[in-house]
């Protein structure tokens, strides 16, 4: 009996290794691909969502817009047609979380520079201060590439409604001032159908890493 096991020892080892390889291949084939959620207003913290859309549970998309970028050019949804993009809300004079968020946007810009499917879009929540000249100075200072990243200003009502009704990403301070906004650290990942596919903390490196991974997932979708 002992001689039998000795004779077939190597065969058994090979069979064991082969079995492990086959199991791994089967698992990789059967393992479901990650699919990103499609965020609806009812899925998001109500503080970030305008009351008129808080309970909407399907068919939510980013609304049409017309804003002005750092070069004085009109930017609309057509400039982002068939693009995956990352959006956020900021203001150039912010000294708290904005510098960190902008640095992380610069990091994302570097990662997507050679990918024509990907862009960035940053909305000023203080358009009265952030005119074209101010945005241009900020863009130059931060290394914004005009072909990949638009910093936009414009009508405050429109930006407010985009923030609260489309991107579901900005708070109000509750003091009753018309179109008053408190920007948050949120980065939003938007797909080619203008749907929100992810929220990320723009101040956290680990969230930026996850965002970059999710972009790859979305490109396969």
**Domain membership flag for residue 90:** yes
60 is in an annotated binding site: no
Q: Say what percent of the chain tops pLDDT 90.
A: 80
| Contact (CB, 8 A) for 184 and 100 | no
What pLDDT shows up at residue 178?
A: 81
Is residue 59 situated within a structural domain?
Answer: yes
**Considering the domain boundaries, does residue 36 fall inside one?**
no
pLDDT at residue 113 is higher than 70: yes
The pLDDT of residue 177: 76
- The span from the CA of 84 to the CA of 116, in Å, is 9
Backbone φ and ψ for 18, nearest 5 degrees, come out as: -60, -40
Instruction: Tell me whether residue 131 is in a domain.
Output: yes
**Helix, strand or coil for residue 48?**
helix
- Using DSSP's 3-state secondary structure scheme, residue 84 falls into strand
pLDDT of residue 161 exceeding 60, the answer is: yes
Average pLDDT over residues 98-117: 98
**Entry pTM:** 0.85
Q: Does 165 fall in a domain? A: yes
| Shared-domain flag, residues 61 and 17 | no
Q: Look at 14-23, 73-82, 207-216 and tell me which has the smallest mean pLDDT.
A: 14-23
Distance CA 48, CA 181 (A): 10
Claim to verify: residue 152 and residue 124 sit in the same structural domain: yes
For residue 189, the enclosing domain spans: 41-220
Q: Across all residues in the chain, what is the average pLDDT?
A: 90
**Which CATH number do you get for residue 213?**
3.40.30.10
List of residues 6+ apart from 66 with CB closer than 8 A: 74, 75, 76, 154, 158
Per-residue confidence (pLDDT) for residue 173, from 0 to 100: 77
Residue 123, annotated as binding a ligand:
no
For residue 24, is it within any domain? yes
Mean per-residue pLDDT, 189-210: 98
Query: Taking residues 110-137, what's their average pLDDT?
Result: 97
Inside any domain, residue 56: yes
């Amino acid at each position: 009996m002992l001689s039998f096991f000795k004779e077939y020892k190597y065969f058994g080892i090979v069979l064991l290794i082969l079995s492990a390889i086959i199991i791994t291949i089967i698992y990789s084939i059967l393992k479901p691909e990650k699919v990103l959620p499609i965020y609806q207003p009812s899925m998001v913290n109500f503080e970030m969502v305008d009351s008129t859309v808080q309970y909407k549970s399907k068919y939510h998309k980013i609304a049409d817009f017309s804003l002005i970028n750092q070069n004085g050019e009109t930017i609309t949804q057509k400039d982002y047609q068939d693009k995956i993009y990352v959006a956020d809300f900021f203001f150039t004079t912010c000294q708290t979380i904005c510098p960190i968020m902008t640095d992380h946007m610069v990091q994302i810009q570097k990662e997507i520079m050679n990918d024509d499917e990907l862009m960035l879009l940053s909305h000023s929540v203080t358009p009265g201060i952030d005119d074209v000249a101010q945005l241009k100075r900020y863009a130059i200072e931060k290394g914004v590439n005009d072909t990949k990243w638009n910093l936009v200003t414009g009508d405050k009502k429109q930006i407010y409604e985009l923030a609260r009704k489309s991107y579901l990403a900005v708070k109000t301070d509750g003091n009753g001032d018309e179109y008053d906004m408190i920007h948050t650290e949120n980065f939003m990942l938007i797909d080619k159908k203008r749907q929100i596919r992810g929220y990320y903390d723009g101040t956290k490196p680990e969230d930026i890493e996850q965002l970059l991974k999710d972009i790859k997932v979305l490109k396969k979708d």
